[in-house]
Amino acid sequence: MSLIPPSRVFPPPERLLLGPGPSQVHPRVLAALGLPLVGHLDPAFVALMEETKRMLREVFGTKNDLTIPISGTGSAGLEATIVNLVEPGDEVVIGVNGVFGTRLTDVAERAGASVVRAEAPWGEVVPPETIAAALGRARKPRLLALVHAETSTGAWQPLEEASRLAHEHGALFVIDCVTSLGGCPVDIDRMGVDAAYSGTQKCLSCPPGLSPVTFGPRAVERLRARTHQVRSWYLDLTMLEKYWGEERVYHHTAPISMNYALYEALRVVLEEGLDARFARHRRSHEALVAGLEALGLEMAVAPGRRLWMLTSVRIPAGVDDAAVRRALLEDDHIEIGGGLGPLKGQTWRIGLMGESSTEANVRRLLSALGRLLPRHGFACDAESGVAAAGRAYGAA
């Protein structure tokens, strides 16, 4: 039986989104979703497309002309990147240290690639020597793909040495920055990244539904040199670029309202300024960690390798993962995420992304945890978390 009377518009419950995504959305972005539609080839919409591309290039840190939002979530961007750069029989090297590295290997194999895995334990980064060894096992690697911000674990993958190794082996360097874009430096051009994809619902604080991608000169050259058709018609960038480029060739009906929302979200990001936005994410992360540790909780990722926007926390022995998350949701209207894969039931994932990354939200969560944890068998000083976070913010 439906919980929503058929005569009623869906009433979303009050939630503070502090999970692995989506994040809170700025009121200006929500308002943009309700603007009147125009056609997807209307001159006014074309102007919006051009400005969106310009702002995406700024946020990515690139001058790449082929920088567009794919119509689909971050997984569509992942698939678009792989199917456009990989042909059947290609060897690709993929860093696997969590769910999204595993997903990359699945997509690459479905595209006909032979995958060489550069593996590391979940919660750790893939070290340069593991990457070098994997590249060495490939005869002619087409690309090296790494997850910059592994959302399943909270690990922050270094890029610079990996980029050098990829190019030394004649491979393209590809990154997943679904969770990092807009929350920490991505620096596509400075890091020598050839192709990257992201999502709108994390640090850009836009609803899910678009996936920004950027292809640099080497990736575009590879796209032009294909000897097989791209396996996905919908995600074929040789056609999509003609819609987003000067030709404006019809490909599909773009999600007009979602593009309005992304346009406004990017304006919000750039009005704040990237450096200020990154600093805000770092301050909130450091204050959250100080508070969690004051409560007696342990982080799941080593210092120096922790994402600012997604903090992975070990669940204390004897504490019921689902019961705590359910109580947070029902009593305090706060959503956090559970662990995935081998970390299921072992970690909580706390997202401080975009609009969610504020001092008020950090304090609210720590206060709620301080009250809840003793009820679930974990003794702690209920006020210590908020106090420690306040001190961290004061020292910032």
pLDDT digits (tens, 9 = 90+) for 338-373: 999 999 999 999 999 999 999 999 999 999 999 999
Q: How many CB atoms are located within 10 Å of the residue 170 CB?
A: 10
Listed residue (68, 55, 78) closest to 272, CA to CA: 55
**Does 275 have pLDDT greater than 50?**
yes
Model pLDDT, residue 3: 65
CATH 3.40.190.10 fits domain 274-395: no
Taking the CA atoms of the chain, what radius of gyration do you get in angstroms? 21
If you search the block for the tokens 């929503």, which residue do you land on?
A: 4
**Does 53 have pLDDT greater than 70?**
yes
What integer is the mean pLDDT of 222-251? 95
Please state, in angstroms and as integers, the Cα–Cα distance from residue 138 to each residue in 233, 305, 325, 342, following that order: 29, 28, 44, 28
What distance lies between CA 324 and its chain's CA centroid?
Answer: 25
Model pLDDT, residue 161: 98
Spell out the domain ranges in the chain.
Answer: 27-270, 274-395
Q: ω into residue 212 within 30 of 0, thus cis?
A: no
CATH pick for 27-270 out of 3.40.50.300, 3.50.50.60, 3.40.640.10, 1.10.10.10: 3.40.640.10
What CA–CA distance (Å, rounded) separates 270 from 16? Answer: 24
Residue 205 gets the label, from left (phi > 0), alpha (psi -120 to 50) or beta, of left
What CA–CA distance (Å, rounded) separates 85 from 223? Answer: 6
Question: What is the torsional sign of CA 121, 278, 299, 310?
Answer: negative
- Give the helix/strand (H/E) hosting 204: none
Domains 27-270 and 274-395 share a fold: no
DSSP 353: -
Mean pLDDT taken over the chain: 96
Model pLDDT, residue 10: 87
**Does 247 have pLDDT greater than 50?**
yes
Query: What spatial distance separates the first Cα and last Cα of the chain, rounded to whole Å?
Result: 51
Model pLDDT, residue 1: 47
Model pLDDT, residue 331: 96
Cut 0.85: pTM above it: yes
Model pLDDT for residues 162-208, shown as the tens digit of each residue: 999 999 999 999 999 999 999 999 999 999 999 999 999 999 999 99
Model pLDDT, residue 9: 85
Listed residue (64, 5, 17, 78) closest to 355, CA to CA: 17
Model pLDDT, residue 395: 79
- Asked if residue 82 lies in contact with residue 219, where contact means CB atoms within 8 angstroms, the answer is no
What integer is the mean pLDDT of 51-68? 98
**Does 7 have pLDDT greater than 70?**
no
Residues in Cβ contact with 188 at an 8 Å cutoff, skipping those fewer than 6 apart: 60, 61, 62, 64, 196, 214, 216
